[in-house]
């Protein structure tokens, strides 16, 4: 059953990723069509086409590799007169001289020219005003951000945040030694202090040792600091208050640091401390957050992800080092889609109530969409942020010409940046491969 749940979690993440990609491309498609741009394809995934359907002038479909998507807009770049003239005479040049990058530039221009119907084709991207081009390219990332806000809102306002109450959910019957290797009480085990004091499930803690209690953590702190000392405990039971006497047992517990790791002494042995133990567990409830909590959480996540993206090459290098050395990975470092799928599988297979697992999945998918939003705004081609920078540069050139009463400049030809785009793509492929290998060999785990 655990294996099946793990597989279901991975499948759900794949479906969630496909929905996220579909919404991203829809964010490009809708404004593009609204502004009159001719869109030839709307595809989810890359590689061989699994299914497609022609609706009007646009082909909609799914491809085999669900790691992205695209829409094909006419005239992303201005036409190249030389290649268009050659094409008109049936003399398509094919590969160009001048080296590898020159060939790439010409191929990009030829591919772009094939989306144009004529030199005066006005249903093309590059002819749009700058603000419309920015809106189209921003549409995709913004859809991911909005989807993340919806998911966080469902998580925080719909499901709620798990909060420990002052209500006792269960009382241990006995104290079982940590090295006993069992969970069932034996006749020789001492009675747990809470059971001896008469505490019962459903009791609401009101006071402990004369201090008013508003959270279970406050009661727990007093108990831990009072091993072997009698405490008066006031509880509310069936509408009335009762005063009980609780004497926490003294037990040895490992000392941990801020990360939850054992603290070792000079000889490498785990340090321990004596703390008080009562044997009660708190009741956990889901508290619904305000409707704006989802938006606030999404914005906070944007800042956190932006910090990671800014240092992405360094973070990926550190991940590569742990891949070779087998060291522990940074739990807040970058993940690949494979890593997100593994975490989703772990959430689905965890021994927890179904609502907890649903909440965990929604949080993962929401965080993934925040990452897609931030990553796609990086100002480098072929990412959306790169196209936005090109559009803004075109606008700056035109504004400069108007101010100084010069002739309108030619549209910015982004095909000249194809070599830079190629380098960026290779870099993304390498970083993606490192993260995928790390997620397979040395994954980050929630367990």
pLDDT per residue over 346-390, tens digit each?
888 888 888 889 999 999 999 999 999 999 999 998 899 999 999
**25 catalytic residue (yes or no):** yes
Candidate list 25, 218, 236, 283, residue with the active-site label:
25
Q: How far apart (Å, rounded) are the C-alpha atoms in residues 42 and 59? A: 6
Q: What is the mean pLDDT of residues 95-117?
A: 72
Cα–Cα distances (Å) from 93 to 46, 81, 88, 203, in that order, read 27, 13, 11, 84
pLDDT score recorded for residue 147: 97
CA 258 – CA 360 distance, rounded (Å):
23
What is the four-CA torsion angle of 285, 290, 294, 298, rounded to 10 degrees?
-110
Share of the chain above pLDDT 90, in %: 44
Position 86 scores a pLDDT of 54
Mean model confidence pLDDT for the chain: 86
| pLDDT given at position 89 | 41
pLDDT over 50 (residue 85): no
Global pTM reads: 0.80
Mean pLDDT of 54-74: 90
Between 108 and 388, residue with greater pLDDT: 388
Tell me which of 35 and 446 has the higher pLDDT. Answer: 35
Q: What is the pLDDT of residues 225-283, one digit of tens each?
A: 999 899 999 999 988 999 999 999 988 877 777 656 677 777 777 777 888 899 898 88
- Give me the pLDDT at residue 245, please: 92
Question: What is the CA angle 184-190-193, rounded to 5?
Answer: 105
The answer to whether the peptide bond before residue 382 is cis (omega within 30 degrees of 0) is: yes
- List the structure tokens of 108: 């990009």
Q: 376-414 as b/e, with b when 16 or more CB fall inside 10 Å? A: bbbebbbbbbbbbbbbbebbebbeeeeeeeeeeeebbbb
pLDDT higher than threshold 50 for residue 155: yes
- Summarize the confidence of residues 401-430 as an average pLDDT: 87
Helix axes 130-153, 384-403, angle to 10 degrees: 140
Residue 324 has pLDDT above 90, yes or no: no
10 Å CB burial of residue 170 (0-12, 13-18, 19+) is middle
Q: Name, of 15-24, 182-191, 326-335, the range with top average pLDDT.
A: 15-24
Closest CA to 71 of 82, 57, 50: 57
């Amino acid at each position: 059953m655990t294996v099946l749940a793990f597989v279901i979690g991975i499948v759900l993440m794949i479906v969630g990723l496909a929905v996220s990609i579909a919404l991203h491309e829809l964010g490009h498609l809708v404004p593009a069509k609204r502004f009159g741009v001719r869109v030839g394809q709307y595809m989810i995934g890359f590689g061989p086409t699994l299914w497609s359907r022609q609706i009007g002038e646009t082909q909609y479909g799914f491809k085999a590799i669900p790691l992205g998507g695209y829409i094909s807009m006419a005239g992303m770049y201005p036409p190249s007169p030389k290649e268009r003239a050659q094409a008109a005479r049936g003399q398509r040049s094919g590969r160009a001289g001048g080296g590898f990058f020159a060939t790439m530039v010409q191929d990009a221009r030829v591919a772009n020219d094939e989306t144009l119907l004529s030199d005066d084709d006005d249903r093309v991207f590059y002819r749009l005003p700058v603000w419309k081009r920015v809106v189209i390219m921003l549409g995709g990332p913004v859809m991911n951000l909005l989807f993340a806000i919806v998911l966080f809102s469902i998580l925080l306002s719909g499901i709620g945040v798990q909060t420990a109450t002052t209500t006792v959910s269960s009382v241990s019957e006995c104290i079982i030694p940590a090295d006993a290797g069992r969970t069932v009480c034996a006749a020789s085990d001492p009675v747990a202090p809470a059971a001896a004091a008469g505490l019962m499930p459903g009791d609401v803690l009101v006071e402990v040792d004369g201090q008013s209690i508003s959270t279970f953590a406050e009661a727990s702190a007093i108990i831990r600091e009072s091993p072997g000392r009698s405490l008066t405990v006031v509880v509310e039971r069936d509408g009335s208050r009762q005063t009980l006497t609780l004497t926490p047992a003294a037990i040895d517990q490992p000392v941990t640091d801020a990360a939850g790791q054992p603290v070792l002494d000079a000889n490498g042995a785990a340090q321990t401390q004596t703390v008080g133990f009562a044997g009660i567990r708190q009741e956990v409830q889901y508290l619904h957050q305000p409707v704006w909590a989802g938006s606030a959480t999404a914005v906070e996540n944007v800042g956190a992800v932006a910090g990671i993206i800014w240092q992405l090459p360094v973070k990926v290098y550190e991940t590569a080092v742990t891949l070779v050395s087998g060291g522990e990975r940074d739990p807040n470092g970058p993940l690949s889609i494979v890593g997100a799928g593994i975490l989703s599988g772990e959430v689905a297979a965890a021994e927890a109530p179904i609502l907890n697992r649903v909440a965990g999945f929604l949080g993962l998918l929401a965080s993934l969409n925040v990452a897609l939003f931030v990553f796609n705004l990086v100002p480098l081609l072929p990412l959306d942020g790169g196209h936005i920078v090109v559009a803004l540069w075109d606008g700056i050139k035109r504004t400069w010409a108007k101010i100084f009463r010069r002739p309108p400049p030619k549209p910015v030809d982004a095909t000249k940046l194809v070599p830079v785009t190629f380098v960026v793509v290779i870099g993304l492929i390498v970083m993606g491969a490192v993260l995928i290998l790390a997620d397979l060999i040395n994954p980050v785990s929630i367990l």
